[in-house]
Chain A
Amino acid sequence: MPGSKTGDKKTVLFLCKCSSNISNIVDFEEIKRWAGEKGDTNIAAVSNLLCAPDGKKFFSEVIKKKNVNNIIIAACSPKLHEKTFQDIAEKNNINMSRVRMANIREQCAWVTADKNEATEKAKSLINAAIKRSFLSEDLKRRTMKAYSDVLIIGGGIAGIETARTISKTGRKVYIVEKNITIGGSVMKTEDLAPSMECSPCLMAPILSDVRDDPNIEVLANAEITNILGFFGNFNVTIKEKPRYVEDNCIACEECFKVCPVSVKNEFHYSLGERKAIYTLFPGAVPASAVIDKNICKHFTDNSCDKCVSVCPFGSINFDQEEKTTAINAGSIVISTGFKPGDLAGFPELGHKSINDVYTTYELESLLSTNGPTGGKLKPDDEKIPASAAIIHCAGSMDSRGIPYCSSICCTHAVKAGEMLGKVYPAIRVFNIHNDLVFTDPEEHQFYKKQKAKGTTFIKCFDLSSIKITKTPDDEKIKISGYGFEPISVDIAVLATGFKPADDFKELAKIMDLALDKNGFFRPGHRILHTTASEQDGIYSAGCASKPVNAAAACTQAQAVAGDIMSRLIPGREIELEIFTSFIDEEKCAGCKMCIPACPFKSIYYDPERKISIINEALCRGCGTCTAACPSGSIFARHYTDNEINAEIEGILHG
């Protein structure tokens, strides 16, 4: 019987001429003769163009009529058409793993003009494919129901808007916030430029919406510790730190009055103070207060429990423990916000060393009626500042600080003048700038209005020459720099930029994402998909991928929500990797060496059975672990050592 060497499999060898692309160089008659002589394939079928409609029909007919169950196609690169032919085979009830290509075009016909050489090489490659095909096993296509819930990291305005939009479709949304309540940076200012809309008034109904939305779950005072999986199937581990105050706390603030410990309030840039038990602002979500364990006297020396006795709801619970929660989500949104640029590297700007020198953030905080000083620069000092200088680009576009332009701070700088003017109507304002960057006509209009109101815009060609000084005898702050006459003012405001938040690096590591040179998350595409990340299913909104203002953050949030909702349809199945790896449980010694090797964190150790296990819903079939297993206990489906050795054998011993 011809083809007896093939065992119980009937094997067909398709030879594709690729018009004449291949047959010009590779001698098809010789290949057919050689194949017949070898006898390990049953049929050699020649096609002029196997991937054309006629060719596909021919392919389909041959495998159906001849009752074939093992297919070798000597043609172009498997990258081009392996899937095409696998799909046709599957339609004819032949497992996809039974279709194997030998690349005799790119690797033979196109790399030499020597017909003999090309034909001999084609034989080697075909032989390798044949030898390997005898060892391949059927592979199963696997699917799973995608999770349609969404996890949002960071509860600033971008995260909140994403959550609100998605929750309307009935999907569950989780907001994980590292601070004790959501709200983020917009809660630190009174007015949002350029419209100067009242930020707390804008946010109050939004926050209460979130609080009352049964589909949104807020995990505050929490951080992400691990993320596994891929689009449609993420497993996220979250650590919630104890608040020591139960959820029934309504933030009545009774305890604040009796708490004996105070500390600088970092939420207000350390300008005001807060107690050991505190909230960030009225109407916070979650509402309940938090005890700062590091300073609370119950924890430091067990000398106080005043809050316990005054709390009308019995909410204080010093025994609360850290909670770890695991969540399955289909998509993840990074909306972790930003951090204001700091001026530690710029002593010449006098920040923190000279009184009355503030950053724009500090100024906003001080001038907010809900801020640390009730809306005045100095609540106790009745002196009214007569003049202010606002320095643009402070600490930006300079390697000592932020090397880039954040594109937000010019509007902040203009807004600083507007805010000062509201509180101190007679104040004279000087804006010292080089570039002026506005991102839309409204912002530009805002600037023009400010100018019309009498603000002097002073151009300084080299902002790094700016010096802010004040001697003990001086009443006023002196500002000097290249290209303008020094001015003396009562206060100076530094418009600093946006930096990536501190946890970006850690998050990037957990999610296996790259940061760009400025430390922001690299977008999926700079133009076409700025809210995608480099990993399918992980999105960014707000300041995660670059500095944006609140309006842009909301637009991005809605874009992300739309993107997710269009792709993550509840009930839809997602295809899982077919070529996964598996561990031979009889052989595995539980040495754990494969675990760090897996780039997708798909392997875990089972201490009871003392072996390692691959979670095949997470495995991407990269095969790294098979090389790492020191006892040869891991097998990569479709790429077993035996298959690869057979292929090499086939090449070496044609």
Chain B
Amino acid sequence: MTKPKIAISWNSSCGGCDESIVDIEDKILDIAAKVEFVLWPCAMDFKYDHVRALPDGDITVSLINGGIQNSHQEEIARLIRKKSKTVVAFGACAWLGGVPSLINLKNKEELFKSSYLESISVENPRKTLPAIKSKVDNCTLTLPEIYDTLYKLDDIIGVDYYLPGCPPTADLITDLFLKLIEGGLPEKGAVLAPARSLCISCPRNETKPDNFEIDEIKRIHEIIADPEKCFLVQNLLCMGPSTRDGCGCSCIKGNMPCTGCFGPADKSDQGAKMIGTLGSILKGSTESEADRVIDGIADPAGTFYRYSTAASMLGRKRKEDR
């Protein structure tokens, strides 16, 4: 029997997802023995032409991490889709846009300005900005086109499975490989983690009263968090209620509230759901009282949509010319 062919590819991501595959430790060697890698830019030296040369649908499964923000990423994603039987959106960025998709709250111009002109670590006296074509000493250099919007993977290509997490956990990755090799993947379109919210696994849920109210929102550095009590009860925003289960409560066990990297528990808008649920516990019988409590949320977009701006109802900042 020929070994299943696997491709791993990255887009707008931090490299953490690739790292997490290596992090499954000795199991990676077992897996490597059972599969054939045909592309893994981060870890192995394959050329895209190798992939181009493969017959369509030849790759058993491709794990693609990162959202799509430039023309090169789009081209490679489309290529891989054509060559693969199954595509997995690997990690929060591929599934929902991830942290990089917070850029959708700005425009490309603002991005360039801040990254290439204003950032304190940048020295750019000639104010050079990335361009698709630039002339240098009679040569023309080309760069991929950077898009105004960061797209989640399934905005660009068809995706068969979604593996949540920033990054996905070693257990989920190992499980995915096992199912790829031995079978047992669910119906296509599935998110490969339980469709319930994190509170169900959280050891702190038992400390959450049936009925409670918070009259202030604090940030984690402002108090010494009790290591056993539900964070919400301690006036700390925890995204657990609107976040999918499956991470093993990594952050919570480290006494940090969940920031939501496992995405929504169902197809809904994760941030909106969290805002909706806060409505039931935030105190505020008068408008000014409510305003005071809400003002405690220092960075609403970064709190509620840290990993899912591209997938949210907001999608992106309104385009002026529309």
Contact with A along B288-312 (1 / 0, CB 8 A): 0000000000000000000000000
Contact with A along B238-249 (1 / 0, CB 8 A): 001110010000
Residues from chain B with Cβ under 8 Å of A587 in the complex = 195-196, 265-266
Known: A630-B274, A631-B265, A631-B266. A590 touches B200 (CB 8 A): yes
Complex-state Cα separation, A624 to B264, whole angstroms: 20
Contact at B279–A627, with CB atoms within 8 Å? yes
Among residues of A, the one whose C-beta sits closest to the C-beta of B269 is: A632
Closest Cβ of chain B to A602, distance in Å, is 13
Residues from chain B with Cβ under 8 Å of A211 in the complex = none
Complex-state Cα separation, A141 to B205, whole angstroms: 36
Among residues of A, the one whose C-beta sits closest to the C-beta of B209 is: A592
Contact with A along B257-268 (1 / 0, CB 8 A): 000000011111
B-binding segment of A130-138, A483-491, A593-601: A593-601
B208 close to A (CB within 8 Å): yes
Contact with A along B210-232 (1 / 0, CB 8 A): 11110000000000000000000
Most chain B Cβ neighbours within 10 Å, of A587, A596, A610, A641: A596
Known: A596-B213, A630-B197, A632-B266. A591 touches B280 (CB 8 A): no
Partner of B280, one of A597, A605, A633: A597
Contact at A593–B280, with CB atoms within 8 Å? yes
Q: How large is the interface on A (under 10, 10 to 19, 20 to 34, 35 or more residues)?
A: 20 to 34
Q: How large is the interface on B (under 10, 10 to 19, 20 to 34, 35 or more residues)?
A: 20 to 34
Residues from chain B with Cβ under 8 Å of A589 in the complex = 196-200, 241, 245, 265
Complex-state Cα separation, A194 to B39, whole angstroms: 101
B31 close to A (CB within 8 Å): no
Contact with B along A26-44 (1 / 0, CB 8 A): 0000000000000000000
Partner of A628, one of B211, B265, B279: B279
Contact at B205–A591, with CB atoms within 8 Å? yes
Complex-state Cα separation, A597 to B278, whole angstroms: 9
Partner of B197, one of A604, A624, A631: A631
Residues from chain A with Cβ under 8 Å of B276 in the complex = 627-630
B124 close to A (CB within 8 Å): no
Contact at A632–B268, with CB atoms within 8 Å? yes
A311 close to B (CB within 8 Å): no
Closest Cβ of chain B to A588, distance in Å, is 7
- List which A633-648 residues lie within 8 A (CB) of chain B: 633, 641
Partner of A605, one of B196, B210, B277, B281: B210
Contact at B197–A592, with CB atoms within 8 Å? no
Residues from chain B with Cβ under 8 Å of A632 in the complex = 264-268, 273
Contact with A along B98-124 (1 / 0, CB 8 A): 000000000000000000000000000
- List which A357-389 residues lie within 8 A (CB) of chain B: none
Contact at A588–B196, with CB atoms within 8 Å? yes
Contact at A631–B205, with CB atoms within 8 Å? no
Among residues of B, the one whose C-beta sits closest to the C-beta of A626 is: B276
Complex-state Cα separation, A625 to B5, whole angstroms: 47
Residues from chain A with Cβ under 8 Å of B197 in the complex = 589, 591, 630-631
Contact with B along A599-630 (1 / 0, CB 8 A): 00000110000100000000000001001111
Residues from chain B with Cβ under 8 Å of A605 in the complex = 210
Closest Cβ of chain B to A441, distance in Å, is 47
- List which A484-523 residues lie within 8 A (CB) of chain B: none
Complex-state Cα separation, A596 to B213, whole angstroms: 8
Known: A629-B277, A631-B241, A632-B268. A591 touches B200 (CB 8 A): yes
Contact with A along B164-178 (1 / 0, CB 8 A): 000000000000000
Contact at A631–B213, with CB atoms within 8 Å? no
Complex-state Cα separation, A17 to B60, whole angstroms: 61
Most chain A Cβ neighbours within 10 Å, of B205, B213, B276, B280: B280
Residues from chain A with Cβ under 8 Å of B264 in the complex = 631-632
Complex-state Cα separation, A55 to B44, whole angstroms: 76
Complex-state Cα separation, A627 to B274, whole angstroms: 10
Complex-state Cα separation, A596 to B284, whole angstroms: 13
- List which B97-154 residues lie within 8 A (CB) of chain A: none
Contact at A631–B211, with CB atoms within 8 Å? no
Contact with B along A116-152 (1 / 0, CB 8 A): 0000000000000000000000000000000000000
Q: Could you pull out 20 A-B pairs where Cβ atoms are within 8 angstroms?
A: A589-B200, A590-B199, A590-B200, A590-B205, A591-B205, A591-B240, A591-B241, A593-B277, A596-B212, A596-B280, A597-B277, A604-B210, A627-B276, A630-B197, A630-B274, A631-B241, A631-B264, A631-B265, A631-B273, A633-B266
The 5 closest A-B pairs by CB, nearest first: A597-B280, A630-B242, A591-B199, A631-B265, A589-B200
Extra A-B contacts (11), CB below 8 Å, given A593-B277, A596-B280: A587-B265, A587-B266, A588-B196, A593-B241, A594-B280, A596-B210, A596-B211, A596-B213, A597-B279, A610-B200, A627-B276
